[in-house]
Amino acid sequence: MQVESYDAIVVGSGISGGWAAKELTEKGLRVLLLERGKNVEHIKDYVNATKAPWQYPHRGGRTRAMELAYPVLKRDYPLNEKNLDWWASDQESPYTEVKRFDWFRGYHVGGRSLMWGRQSYRWSDFDFEANAREGIAVDWPIRYADIAPWYDHVERHAGISGSREGLPQLPDGQFQPPMPLNCGEEMIAGRLQRQFGGRRRIIPGRTANLTRPLPGRSPCQYRNACWLGCPFGGYFSTQSSTLPAAVATGRLTLKPYAIVTEVLYDRDRKRATGVRVLDAVTDQTTDYSARVVFLCASTLNSTWLLLRSATDVWPGGLGSSSGELGHNLMDHHFRVGAQGRLEGLDDKYQFGRPPTGFYIPRYRNLFGDKRDYLRGFGYQGGASRQGWSRAVAELGVGGAFKDAMAQPGPWSIGATAFGEMLPNHANRVSIDTARKDKWGLPVLAIDCATGENERLMRRDMMNDMAEMLEATGVKQVRTYDREYFPGMGIHEMGTARMGRDPKTSVLNAHNQVWDAPNVFVTDGACMTSTACPNPSLTYMALTARAADFAVSELTRHNL
Amino acid sequence: MESMIDRREAIRRVTALLGGMALVGGGSSLVSACEQAQRGAAGARGGAGTFTTRDIAFLDEIAETILPETKTPGAKAAQVGPFMALMVTDTYDEREQATFRDGMRKLDEACKAMHHAAFLDATPPQRLVLLEQLDREQKAYMDARHGDDTPAHYFRMMKELALLGYFTSEIGYTKAMRYVEVPGRFDPCVPYTPGDPAWAPHA
């Protein structure tokens, strides 16, 4: 039987895969986009997007039956009644936790681009230079100047709203107008600016929600229901943004229910020839060939695929010659911060439900500041008037109590820190050959823990927020550390890092696997360090950059 | 450390559902998520008995006493009794269910002791006086409990479910509060007049 042939195969249809498909098709390639899960059609399949909150039997919460069915997902907020259909089944797709690792996955067209937090920040040279400066892991093979034009490119198409602040550690971009701070946030932002001489700043969150229309998409309607899918196309997802662009070229073939089980490798030509696909419904195996392969299957699944490929040449898998494949797994550690009560704004309120809050860019270990740990953290937070749920802890029953609780309560403000996690060779994934998923495929074993640097950083992450709140007149300040386990950030990164030397890295500066230059890995697996701002915008930029490079190399017959 | 969190799980499954929007009303789901309590290893160990029609009528009257009809409809109109029964059955573990069921009995006993009448036979003012006392009792108990392994007070469970059931009902959203499905704009700072109802959250 003739093998179906394409110019390029993209594995995975989430944030990175959608971008790869868009860029490669727009540059003239015939692309096969493979997705292991079901299709989710834009708008049509957002079945709960316009459902009223009271129409959920448990009002959006979780039942014991759901907890039994989702032993991992139940560990944090994703287990819920509203979009459960978009979270991968822990039972169909188990994995082995050598140490606790919370892996929250989206196995469908669009992947986690449908449910993501949408916070979108550029990284800076403080991030790209950190490993080299401190002698940690290996140096990033790129600098800000290499990626800056690609940030420009992806921001324009994705639509990022945000304010221009002129901060060297958080570069400005091609922003749509920001979603403004509300009265409470604005008041504290002003005081913080004065108290810390501008070194610590509250700025509007930069978010992939539109404040101006883009072709085929409306601005945000301020419903704050993004993770049900947006019928207005108000936020960036594969479905709202990259997939329609790729489809419009007429060169895209999208194939759902296609589990890629192996990258096919020609040891003589030292090139990948295509991929092997297991049909998730029929269990049939089909090979597809292509001149280039983009792995965008999400951090751990892209690495799972490499670990299983070309094992006749390298028993440890494609890219394992460095000894680093599967290693240096990272995440952002968080769930620590402070909150308190704002006074003096009882006659103020807000209208509309913006899908973002404020951001406090990193200030630790920068500009002369020196701590007993490396790197830093940023905060995401918000101010709002308390809702009726304050009634649970308050004394009161009866009519006056009910009517009072139907009114907005006092203003609260709080923020949670997101901290950088250092790369560590010991944090790794491997194939657990003893355990199989629903399709008989061996699963990943994950062995990852935070270390001393993260522990020391968390003290500042908690105490700094309390300090800032108290310095700005916030009352009843309380700190919290709700305990963090790797994976909870849903920012998994690393395991196939970029670098300058094939002996110590899996990918080169253009995301090519050193051992197979026509295989590109452009999702979170490629990251050499985590910085502290959210990573998705950087995946987009790296993917677009790698796609441009791949096409130019194809043109030069170098692949 | 984890076991301490686990012990607190029991009540949190519902509390976390309540709590998402408490701090970050306008926050992103990501931010809200950070504010939510961890909901970990609470066991799901099968259900206790089902609720009879009379049980549900009993819960309806408890909810109506906590959240009675005023210028806006009360808990009964919002069908809070059936909701409480559903939540206890579907989301409480066996121990919580036992506490709740036993609490229904205790509440009725307390009513008889106070008013010489079963709760369903008591007048609305009598019911209110009883629940005011139970509310003080549960608050003192819960405030002293703090991180303890003992179950929540049964009346805290009832009050919490009544509040959740009422304020997330259509009546709660649209009559008690103000609800706009598609705001279409964001006004970050508008005047507020005391007495005006809250804008209901979406999520």
Structure tokens at B34: 């950070």
Query: What does DSSP say about strands A516-521 and A285-295: parallel, antiparallel, or unpaired?
Result: parallel
**CB-closest option in B33, B169, B186 to A352:** B186
Q: Give the minimum alpha-carbon distance from B70 to chain A in angstroms, rounded to a whole number.
A: 6
With beta carbons under 8 A apart, name residues in chain A contacting B146.
none
Which residue in A has a C-alpha nearest to residue B14's C-alpha?
A61
What is the pLDDT, as a whole number, of residue A144? 98
Contact A62 B39 (CB under 8 A): yes
Asked whether the beta carbons of A305 and A260 are under 8 A apart, the reply is yes
User: Residue B201 and residue A143: Cα distance in Å, rounded?
Assistant: 42
Structure tokens at A58: 């448990």
Which residue in B has a C-alpha nearest to residue A383's C-alpha?
B24
Give the residue from A173, A163, A165, A175 showing the smallest Cα distance to A212: A175
Q: Give the minimum alpha-carbon distance from A27 to chain B in angstroms, rounded to a whole number.
A: 34
With beta carbons under 8 A apart, name residues in chain B contacting A52.
170, 173, 181
- DSSP letter at A140? -
Whether A74 contacts chain B with CB within 8 A:
yes
Whether A99 contacts chain B with CB within 8 A:
no
Residue B5 pLDDT exceeds 90: no
Contact B25 A63 (CB under 8 A): no
User: Mean pLDDT score of chain B, rounded to an integer?
Assistant: 81
Q: What's the ipTM?
A: 0.94
Contact A483 B5 (CB under 8 A): yes
Residue B49 pLDDT exceeds 70: no
Report residue A143: phi and psi, to 5°.
-125, 175
Report the amino acid identity of residue A276.
R
Beta strands in A192-279 (DSSP E): 203-204, 252-255, 258-266, 271-279
What is the pLDDT, as a whole number, of residue B145? 85
What is the pLDDT, as a whole number, of residue B147? 73
Query: Hey, of A202, A334, A397, A407, which one would you mutate to test binding to chain B, going by the most B CBs within 10 A of its CB?
Result: A397
Tracing tokens 């502290």 back to the chain, one arrives at A532
Q: Give the minimum alpha-carbon distance from A472 to chain B in angstroms, rounded to a whole number.
A: 18
Per-residue pLDDT of chain A (559 residues; tens, 9 = 90+): 679 999 999 999 999 999 999 999 999 999 999 999 999 999 999 999 999 999 999 999 999 999 999 999 999 999 999 999 999 999 999 999 999 999 999 999 999 999 999 999 999 999 999 999 999 999 999 999 999 999 999 999 999 999 999 999 999 999 999 999 999 999 999 999 999 999 999 999 999 999 999 999 999 999 999 999 999 999 999 999 999 999 999 999 999 999 999 999 999 999 999 999 999 999 999 999 999 999 999 999 999 999 999 999 999 999 999 999 999 999 999 999 999 999 999 999 999 999 999 999 999 999 999 999 999 999 999 999 999 999 999 999 999 999 999 999 999 999 999 999 999 999 999 999 999 999 999 999 999 999 999 999 999 999 999 999 999 999 999 999 999 999 999 999 999 999 999 999 999 999 999 999 999 999 999 999 999 999 999 999 999 999 999 999 999 999 9
Q: Which secondary-structure segment (H or E) carries A545?
A: helix A536-555
What is the pLDDT, as a whole number, of residue B50? 85
Asked whether the beta carbons of B59 and B84 are under 8 A apart, the reply is yes
Query: Hey, of B17, B71, B186, B193, which one would you mutate to test binding to chain A, going by the most A CBs within 10 A of its CB?
Result: B186
Beta strands in chain B (DSSP E): 187-191
Tracing tokens 């993917």 back to the chain, one arrives at A543
Residue B46 pLDDT exceeds 60: no
Whether B3 contacts chain A with CB within 8 A:
no
Contact A380 B128 (CB under 8 A): no
Give the residue from A368, A260, A350, A275 showing the smallest Cα distance to A13: A260
| High-pLDDT (> 90) share of chain B, % | 70
CA dihedral A400, A402, A408, A409 (to 10 degrees): 70
Whether B49 contacts chain A with CB within 8 A:
no
Mapping DSSP onto H, E and C, the string for A27-96 reads CCCCEEEECCCECCCCCCCCCCCCCCHHHCCCCCCCCHHHHHHCCCHHHCCCCCCCCHHHCCCCCCCCCE
Contact B163 A389 (CB under 8 A): yes
| High-pLDDT (> 70) share of chain B, % | 75
- 391-420 in chain A: CB under 8 A from chain B: 391-393, 395-399, 401-403, 405-408, 412-414, 416
Neighbouring C-alpha atoms within 13 Å toward the C-beta of A518: 26
Query: Hey, of A51, A77, A360, which one would you mutate to test binding to chain B, going by the most B CBs within 10 A of its CB?
Result: A77
Percent composition of chain A: helix, strand, coil (DSSP 3-state, to 5): 25, 25, 50
Contact A224 B201 (CB under 8 A): yes
**CB-closest option in A221, A357, A407 to B24:** A357
Asked whether the beta carbons of A488 and A331 are under 8 A apart, the reply is yes
A-B interface: how many C-beta pairs under 8 angstroms? 291
B157: which residues sit within 8 A by CB, 6+ positions away?
B11, B88, B92, B96, B99, B100, B103
Secondary structure of residue A512 in the 3-state scheme: strand
Contact A483 B163 (CB under 8 A): no
With beta carbons under 8 A apart, name residues in chain B contacting A350.
25-26, 186-190
